[in-house]
Structure 1
Amino acid sequence: MKRIGIIGVGEIGRAIVMGLCDGGDKSPEVFLSPRGARTAAELSERYESVQVCADNQEVVDRSDVVIIAVRRQEGHEALAGLKVDGDKVVVNVMAGVGIDDLRRTLATDAPLVRAIPLPAVRERRSVTATCPSHPVVNALFEHLGGVLPVADEAAFDVFSALTGTLTTHYWYLATLTSWAIGHGIASDDADSYVRGLFQGVGRSLSDETRSLHQLAADHETPNGSNERIRTTWFAPANSDALNKALDDLLADLKLPRVEGSHPKPPVS
């Protein structure tokens, strides 16, 4: 596997390193920026193949594939002045930063690929959307759980918006737990039951022979409890509100950026 450099060692950067270095396979050389120094130092101590570089330019110089994982509002500062030769492959995981925008910032002819890796890449269990398709990047994320090359950036932004629903799912589960606690259930028992309930639902998603609507129908009986909650709580108004929230997020992801300005990033 190619030598991997990561600029911005936050949650996603950490997950990528763990996915690359855990699991028994021969680990690639990984070069980390000093941004997120505490996490970078922890990873370099844990994995023999991981090194922390003095600065971002050293990360670029020592790597074949450079993953840019800084926050969107920090991108201009972190990347200004970097020299990226055309023989590198740059993977951009900054939400809302398009290929043309990043190319202007880096002033490079190197291949640029957008990607949406999620924390589950640490376990090699997450499909990563990429745009455009590139064999080196596809191989990298196939190794980390799977890759979904996307035809254009407009479609890519739709997938990016979908990732904004993850914490809503966790809050939904937390609300169920709080409701049970409010009705006298012990906190640990409520938490354990809700986790077990939805872990089972999650496993059913691996059955790709059934559509999501079919899975819902298979978990529901006419006039039963599941149908009652779905039709009363997840009513058309609730569905419309979710669609509007996603539309608003998608519009924000598509906003053009002016050089030197930093619009408020979407929370992922």
Structure 2
Amino acid sequence: MQSIGIIGVGEIGRAMVEGLRDGGGASPEVFLSPRGARTAAELSERFEGVHVCADNQGVLDRSEVVIIAVRRQDHHEALAGLTVDDDRTVVNLMAGVATDDLRRTLATGAPIVRAIPLPAVRERRSVTVTCPSHPVVDALFEELGGALPVPDEDAFNVFSALTGTLTAHYAYLATLTSWATGHGIASDAADRYVRGLFQNVGRSLSDGTRPLHRLAADHETPKGNNERIRTTWFDPANAATLKKALDGLLGDLKQDGAPAPRGR
């Protein structure tokens, strides 16, 4: 692959560029759309071989693989009237925009692959779900931490819904620090401790030999502190509420024209 284009240079677009250019070795030329002008200009200044095009058609004309990362509610306006040659490969990062919808908008016979890269692609340690499997696209994301192809959009939407839990996790950590400060702990000390506590949890996740339920069991003692919080706070009713929220998000992702999720 000699060239990659990105239309819609937000946080994920930035992370992909950084992952590609900071990884060492040869990397493809990158062409950025003027959407997200400040980010695009900054990336072009930082990295050799990263260019900002005058418009979205310029990105398409110069790129073998084109990544579309505009906001879901803006995609008809941003992509209308563009010409996408059939020898291009289109990668759709827009949550809730099905392949058939995007193909109608672009009026192209080019391969279209959906993907869910996360910000950790900048460090080349994020597994990216793709649909359907495509050798060029999967190879691209393997370079950025790994590819996880799924066979159809029903499965893809389940993974897309899972990404909607990220900020809830951060809010959970913020609630822990808030609780501690409410009991007289300095906010910076509480923040530092909670970050360190869960960074260690994150490192344990790299142990792929133990399933998640086994990790949970290995980190608690019968009738100990962890078991007490898990069973009194994260009880069956709490778990059912979480699953209900995920079911609602999944239903929206499956519906054409459903309200756009606020983000991943």
Same fold (TM over 0.5): yes
- Could you give the per-residue CA deviations for residues 175-221 of structure 1, whole angstroms, max 9, x where no partner exists? 10111111111111111110110010111111111110000000011
Q: Percent identity?
A: 78
| Matching residue of 1:211 | 211
Residue segments in structure 1 that go unaligned for 5+ positions in a row: none
Are 2:37 and 1:37 equivalent residues in the alignment? Answer: yes
- Equivalent pair of 2:33/2:59 in contact (CA under 8 Å): yes
| Matching residue of 1:146 | 146
SS of 1:9's partner is: coil
SS of 2:145's partner is: coil
Are 2:168 and 1:172 equivalent residues in the alignment? Answer: no
CA RMSD for the aligned pairs? Answer: 0.9
- Equivalent pair of 2:66/2:89 in contact (CA under 8 Å): yes
In 2: Cα distance, 1:149 partner to 1:264 partner: 24
Are 2:111 and 1:115 equivalent residues in the alignment? Answer: no
Are 2:184 and 1:188 equivalent residues in the alignment? Answer: no
- Equivalent pair of 2:96/2:260 in contact (CA under 8 Å): no
In 1: Cα distance, 2:263 partner to 2:178 partner: 24
Name the amino acid aligned to 1:267: G
- Equivalent pair of 1:249/1:266 in contact (CA under 8 Å): no
Name the amino acid aligned to 1:28: P
In 1: Cα distance, 2:139 partner to 2:82 partner: 26
- Equivalent pair of 2:5/2:30 in contact (CA under 8 Å): yes
| Matching residue of 1:28 | 28
Q: Which moved more, 1:187-196 or 1:21-30?
A: 21-30
- Equivalent pair of 1:252/1:266 in contact (CA under 8 Å): no
Name the amino acid aligned to 1:177: T
Are 2:154 and 1:158 equivalent residues in the alignment? Answer: no
SS of 1:129's partner is: strand
In 2: Cα distance, 1:264 partner to 1:50 partner: 31
Residue segments in structure 2 that go unaligned for 5+ positions in a row: none
**1:169 positional shift:** 0.5
SS of 1:4's partner is: strand
| Matching residue of 2:96 | 96
Are 2:263 and 1:263 equivalent residues in the alignment? Answer: no
TM-score by length of 2: 0.98
| Matching residue of 1:134 | 134
The number of equivalent residue pairs is: 264
SS of 1:115's partner is: strand
In 1: Cα distance, 2:252 partner to 2:81 partner: 27
